[in-house]
Structure 1
Amino acid sequence: MQGAARETTHVMTLPFLGGVDMLRARFVTQSFSRHFHEGFAVGCIESGAMRFNYRGASVVAAQGQVNLVVPGEAHDGHGADREGWAYRMFYLKPEALMEGARALMARPDLPHFRQGVLDDPALAGCIARTHRLLERSDVSLIEKETRLLWLLAHWISRHADETGAWPEYGHEHHAVRRAREVIEDRFAEDMPLTELARLAGLSPFHLVRVFEKRIGVTPHGYLTQTRVERARQRLARGERIADIAAECGFSDQAHLTRLFKRQTGITPGKYRKIVQNS
């Protein structure tokens, strides 16, 4: 397809603040499946517009605006029209936001952001400039980390609207917690829902309903996300894609490729190549 040929992606990871993942991409036909992040995601739209479902509403982030999600908040994503969108994204662990908050207060709380789209051209420009600087190989790690911390403090001071909570699941429904543990431990198995529900102590229908209400995705969606994340970790180590697919619960390599791209926006082969080159 002509549109698909215009799609480009570039990813890299920086070794500070617990590890900072960066994405620069243009998408036309890409449609992200519903998923969530363990950390924060924040970026700026450089062209076009992206639509995503977030906190029960359909929102649009357009050129010059900031899009973000907080830990554990399920969302999807696709182009707002057939022209697609281009953006730069940061993926940050909660500890990174705490470091940014320490620049503003002596005893900080974890920041929280209710809105998924911010109409703040100054912040969007700061995100873009910082992202470009962090991509450069001729800039020291000290300068990169300093610039990123300044960006985080800037974002927090302008838009944090309430105190958040560390993304942990110790207080969730005990059956949901047990189901998550089973999925993460046995993600490579083709386990029936009835077995998962039995181990969690609920009926299958009740488990699906409670799980989706608490986590934002169904048990099947959580299983897929877990498998993709395990595959991503092994791709970063340079393992064979066919072996990863077989050992992470995918029916074959094509199945892994399809679901990996729906969740990350990039194929397993391209992800492995980018990580190895960087």
Structure 2
Amino acid sequence: MSKDFREIYFDKQLKLEGYYFEGVSQSFPNHFHDYYVIGFVEKGKRNLTCNTLEYEVNPGDFLLFNPFDSHGCTQVEALDLTYRAINVSIERMREIITTITGKEELVKFTKPILKLPKIDELFLLLHQLILENKDDLNREELLYFFIDALIAHAADIKIEEIAFSEASKENLLLAKSYLEKNFASTVSLEELSRRCHLNKYTLIRYFTKYFGVTPYQYLQTIRIKEAKELLSNGKELLSISLKVGFSDQSHFTRVFKSLIDITPKQYQGIFKQ
């Protein structure tokens, strides 16, 4: 009998729970929660009952439970469950939806089970960062992008296009300038939003639209640009990673390779030839 693995983490910045179950065989009797559950099935099959209706759950399915939805499930064909999810309180969901739509309202998921192939990778990346407690700015951007996409595919409300003025474009330039001047520091979406006088969702949505990258991606690009200059001058790798705003050398190396396609050490070697 295989031993299951369970991990749970409360994200203080995003104000929600993330958890991961691997190799779980137990059944879950009918129950409900007073919060939203957004989950993704990686492995295993389940027979699900939700609000007296029956469903079959397969790998690649999103499970979407509203507060007080009664649900339970049983294992199928001895296939253990691997599953990751986030729990979002009613109040926290209201805050997120208000930021996205500009209206103080709650979302209601229309179906408890859906295939959403266009956004599953977005959710998996967000969830991994929650469990690892990494990349605060990236994590919060991903949360808003994911909930926005989830609303569009699975909820009972519509997001209207926000009017964006020339004055608002100037605010985006303020955000861009702030990132350029503060790349070596920890930059939060809260602070960036305050500095450019735009709400968080409007900021990340229109920054991405006008500059082609998210604020986090722009910040990382600036950091790598500065790091290349230091590498060409023979500076030590650890000191460079800290100087340009990375928390450790391994993170710096991963981001550098993802953007430049070689490691910092390989890039530095060019100037030693």
Corresponding position of 1:247: none
Q: Which has the larger radius of gyration?
A: 2
Corresponding position of 1:151: 146
Q: Which has the higher contact order (CA 8 A, sep 6+)?
A: 1
Aligned structure 1 segments of 4 or more residues deviating by more than 6 angstroms: none
1:133 and 2:122 equivalent?
A: no
Alpha-carbon distance in structure 2 between the residues aligned to 1:158 and 1:64: 15
Alignment root-mean-square deviation, CA: 2.0
Q: 1:147 to 1:55 in 2, by over 3 A?
A: same
Query: With structure 1 as the length reference, what TM-score do the two structures score?
Result: 0.52
What is the letter of the counterpart of residue 81 of structure 1? E
Indicate if the aligned counterparts of 1:100 and 1:153 stay in contact, CA closer than 8 A. Answer: no
Indicate if the aligned counterparts of 2:9 and 2:130 stay in contact, CA closer than 8 A. Answer: no
Indicate if the aligned counterparts of 1:28 and 1:79 stay in contact, CA closer than 8 A. Answer: no
Query: With structure 2 as the length reference, what TM-score do the two structures score?
Result: 0.53
Structure 2 runs not aligned, ≥5 long: 159-273
What is the letter of the counterpart of residue 4 of structure 2? E
Alpha-carbon distance in structure 2 between the residues aligned to 1:123 and 1:61: 18
SS class of match (1:152): helix
Q: Report the CA distance between 1:75 and its aligned residue.
A: 1.1
Q: 1:95 to 1:150 in 2, by over 3 A?
A: farther
What is the letter of the counterpart of residue 82 of structure 2? A
Match of 2:98 among 77, 85, 102: 102
Match of 2:19 among 9, 23, 47: 23
Counting aligned pairs with the same residue, the percent is 19
Indicate if the aligned counterparts of 2:110 and 2:154 stay in contact, CA closer than 8 A. Answer: no
Q: 1:123 to 1:79 in 2, by over 3 A?
A: farther
Deviations 1:4-38 (A, max 9, x none): x2421111111134x31111112442111221111
Indicate if the aligned counterparts of 1:28 and 1:82 stay in contact, CA closer than 8 A. Answer: no
Q: Report the CA distance between 1:135 and its aligned residue.
A: 1.9
State the aligned residue count: 158
Structure 1 runs not aligned, ≥5 long: 164-278
Indicate if the aligned counterparts of 1:41 and 1:68 stay in contact, CA closer than 8 A. Answer: yes
Q: Report the CA distance between 1:103 and its aligned residue.
A: 4.5
SS class of match (2:119): helix
Alpha-carbon distance in structure 1 between the residues aligned to 2:120 and 2:135: 23
Q: Report the CA distance between 1:110 and its aligned residue.
A: 0.5
Alpha-carbon distance in structure 2 between the residues aligned to 1:68 and 1:125: 16
